[in-house]
Structure 1
Amino acid sequence: MIKTDLLTSHITHLECAVSKKKFSHLEIQTFSASDEEGWKSPLYAKYGSLKNIDITVLKDRVSSLWRYFEFLPVLNPENVVSLGEGMTPVIKLENLGKQLEIPNLFLKDESLNPTGSFKARGQAVAVSKMKELGINRCIVPTAGNAGGALAAYCAKANIDVTVVMPRHTPEIFKLECQYFGAELILVDGLISDCGKVVAEMRSKGDYFDVSTMKEPYRLEGKKTMGFEIAEQMNWELPDVIFYPTGGGTGLIGIWKAFHEMKEAGWITGKFPKMIAVQTANCQPIVWSFEGKHESSAGYRAKASVANGLAVPFPFAEKQIFQVLKESEGYAISVSEEELMVGTKSLAKNEGLFVAPEGGALLPAMIKAIENKWISADDKILLLNTGSAYKYAENFK
């Protein structure tokens, strides 16, 4: 168990991801208008005295993301809103590893989080910080899982929440929001269209916007995947991480975690290549990576069976590219048919019913090996973001 009297967050301030301008973490913050081109940029939580955090603090701590409390932004442990999120397993894919002749193939399974996805991590920390800052009403556009997770944590924290979701989203995502007491608004279109409705509602009412990367603290919850990967792999990072990328919060967060652990002296050595995986139906990051357009601003997308990948205009596009560049990584897309083959293969061969976003990773990995971007001898980690059970009505 955590001894709450010994917990101290090392957060010092928030910082614009581009301009490096500092903002107070003691006040309600959103994002920064940071450059001459008019780009709006996320705010990152920054921490001080990391070298003073000894790795032994983890001994006997609760098996959840809150075991890394010193690296999280909540100041008072009494404000933590938790449903048991984090510490999801890293599983060796032995059967597929043998079939594909990849001796060190692993998968981190985020489907075991509350509400069935990695979104629980971000919303746990975001809602805890909302509670600490006295926010009592929020709104979010969602492709599905983020809305359900936010509704659950807001129910626990007694915070009013409005969820704006594409009408074509599977029914279970709508039902969970309603059962958790959220106001649910359905929109024809993708999450980008939901974002427009959120902006209009915010202009007329007092809502705190919890959109991806438009508040600072969902990122802090997602980064704990990076801490867990390091701890669960005995503080030796994999060579490659394949990450299904819509809004990119998890990709950016994991990279942020690696830097913070290195500064604290918890890990050494080279960081993994980070490979962003998208669907051909919505691949703005891949197109930007391949030089097919300057940015995602004018990208036109289609809906996907992998709802979480249907994000045509990621707010943190610049930050996603920064991670890919720093890690010497890549952006890859797979077809809708390929990602479903991957989903079925993980189920049949490993007994893992992963979300289609996670299923996309398997064909992407095979493409990366065939293109010699990575080696079959690398230690490879696939990061499955959610459970296929919530997508079942999308499957044929």
Structure 2
Amino acid sequence: MLFSYISHLFCPKCKKEYTTKEKHQLCECGSPLLVAYDLDTLKANLTPEMIQSRKPSLWRYHELLPVEDSKNVVSLGEGMTPLLEMPKLGKDMDIQHLYMKDEGIIPTGSFKARGAAVGVSKAKELGVQQLAMPTNGNAGAAWALYSSRAEIKATVVMPKDAPTITRNECAVAGANLYLVDGLISDAGKFISEAIKDWGLYDASTLKEPYRIEGKKTMGLEIAEQFSWRLPDVILYPTGGGVGLIGIYKALNELKELGWIKGKLPRLVAVQAENCAPIVKAWNEKKQESEFWPDSTTIAFGINVPKAIGDFLVLEALYNTNGYAIAVEEKQIIEEQKKVALLEGTFICPEGAATFLAARRLREQGWIKEDETVVALNTGLGIKYPNTVDIEVPILNLSDSLYKNV
């Protein structure tokens, strides 16, 4: 039995195909490339029961991942994150069956570890020695750390306002780290120049085909954790949108394998009101988004003014009767506090945005009371220490604690 049933790469726009044995970036038409698998053959060789007996990491799905030789797997134990019931928060929102897929406990503290694990593993398999990427923080941290484990040199450029902890993660991993006084789009310009000048492997979002394969394991896990019965709605904080694209890809592959039945979940792209290019395009029924000028949001990970895979995000929304929603900037942190108060979990601002979106969509009636809803929390709240502003009383040595309780 093969370790991977990868077949080829293909362009979703012009349909040109590429081999998986060589390094590829974008299609010659400029579109991201996607990975195809021999699902007909795999269907005869793999069952859900075989998956369930394996170790609890994303590599339990290795037949549906692009690494062809197990010796090239670079892993920190990522995957199989909890799917938590959120009953008190659900009651507060009037959603009876509310769940959180919690990516905060994954290595490097964010869902970016999934894309890094698979992307770096395939880069190793292809003989990559140096890679480069722009980042809003967490992706750069994850790729730097996994690259270190794979003995690949990483060059990372991030906005100077990116979370400090992600900067530290890159530095301690030995990456060539640079800060730019601008947005991720500005960081991308520096990376493009470096790649052109030095021939580095471009690990930018969707400019290599394999990050998405790591991200799609969120969809595979959700399906398995629901015993191959799907929820009604999945909400995802959307910047570059790779996770949402990946979840949609995963569910379609599972459907083709015959492991899931019926309609796919309605997918929701969640953005912040000050950076909402996907929402604008969706409202206007367009196939691609426009660059969002002067973008800013406290949910820094989704501060992406223009996503190269925007047409794939919008396709996933249209094909699942989904939704794109921009939430109020001032309410994101309030929702973050409410999640911690009611459910005891300190989530990242991007995750809080998804719960805020669920609240708003329930108020609008788009989400029904009895529907099963999954919100993605994409990282640890403690990676954003400056988002919560608190005042704590200081005790004098002569004070009694009970007087202050």
TM-score (ref. length: structure 1):
0.95
CA RMSD in angstroms comes to 1.4
Shift of 1:223: 0.3
Shift of 1:90: 0.2
Letter in 2 for 1:323: A
Matched with 2:403 is none
Letter in 2 for 1:63: P
Matched with 2:381 is 388
In 1, the alpha carbon distance for the partners of 2:74 and 2:203 equals 16
Matched with 2:196 is 203
The verdict on how the C-alpha distance between 1:148 and 1:126 changes in structure 2, with shifts beyond 3 A counting, is: same
Note if 1:50 corresponds to 2:42. Answer: yes
The verdict on how the C-alpha distance between 1:17 and 1:370 changes in structure 2, with shifts beyond 3 A counting, is: same
Note if 1:298 corresponds to 2:291. Answer: yes
Listed one character per residue, the Cα deviations across residues 252-282 of structure 1 (whole Å, up to 9, x for unaligned) are 0001000111111111111100000000121
Note if 1:221 corresponds to 2:214. Answer: yes
1:41 aligned counterpart, secondary structure = coil
Letter in 2 for 1:21: K
Matched with 2:369 is 376
- Asked if structure 1 preserves the Cα contact closer than 8 Å seen for 2:163 and 2:384, the reply is yes
In 2, the alpha carbon distance for the partners of 1:261 and 1:376 equals 27
Shift of 1:134: 0.3
In 2, the alpha carbon distance for the partners of 1:387 and 1:178 equals 19
Note if 1:23 corresponds to 2:13. Answer: no
In 1, the alpha carbon distance for the partners of 2:99 and 2:291 equals 36
Note if 1:12 corresponds to 2:7. Answer: yes
1:151 aligned counterpart, secondary structure = helix
- Asked if structure 1 preserves the Cα contact closer than 8 Å seen for 2:295 and 2:304, the reply is no
Note if 1:152 corresponds to 2:145. Answer: yes
User: Which of 112, 120, 123 is 1:130 aligned to?
Assistant: 123
Letter in 1 for 2:42: L
Note if 1:252 corresponds to 2:245. Answer: yes
In 2, the alpha carbon distance for the partners of 1:25 and 1:236 equals 32
Matched with 1:116 is 109
- Asked if structure 2 preserves the Cα contact closer than 8 Å seen for 1:170 and 1:394, the reply is no
In 2, the alpha carbon distance for the partners of 1:301 and 1:124 equals 32
Matched with 1:191 is 184
In 2, the alpha carbon distance for the partners of 1:245 and 1:59 equals 30
Shift of 1:293: 8.1
Listed one character per residue, the Cα deviations across residues 129-164 of structure 1 (whole Å, up to 9, x for unaligned) are 011000000001000100000011001000000110
In 2, the alpha carbon distance for the partners of 1:67 and 1:223 equals 13
Percent of paired sites with the same residue: 48
Matched with 2:393 is none
The verdict on how the C-alpha distance between 1:200 and 1:311 changes in structure 2, with shifts beyond 3 A counting, is: same
Matched with 1:141 is 134
5 Å-filtered alignment, 1:23-42, equals 23-34=18-29, 40-42=30-32
In 2, the alpha carbon distance for the partners of 1:236 and 1:269 equals 9
Letter in 2 for 1:230: A
In 1, the alpha carbon distance for the partners of 2:278 and 2:255 equals 28
TM-score (ref. length: structure 2):
0.93
For structure 1, list consecutive stretches of 5 or more residues without a partner in the other structure.
1-5, 35-39
- Asked if structure 1 preserves the Cα contact closer than 8 Å seen for 2:144 and 2:175, the reply is yes
Matched with 1:3 is none
- Asked if structure 1 preserves the Cα contact closer than 8 Å seen for 2:9 and 2:34, the reply is yes
In 2, the alpha carbon distance for the partners of 1:60 and 1:327 equals 31
Note if 1:282 corresponds to 2:272. Answer: no
Listed one character per residue, the Cα deviations across residues 77-114 of structure 1 (whole Å, up to 9, x for unaligned) are 00000001000000000111222332111000000110
- Asked if structure 2 preserves the Cα contact closer than 8 Å seen for 1:85 and 1:113, the reply is yes
Shift of 1:60: 2.6
Note if 1:356 corresponds to 2:349. Answer: yes
Q: Kindly tell me the number of residue pairs found equivalent between the two proteins.
A: 386
1:241 aligned counterpart, secondary structure = strand
Letter in 2 for 1:193: D
Shift of 1:295: 4.5
Shift of 1:7: 4.9
Shift of 1:372: 2.2
1:32 aligned counterpart, secondary structure = coil
In 2, the alpha carbon distance for the partners of 1:59 and 1:323 equals 28
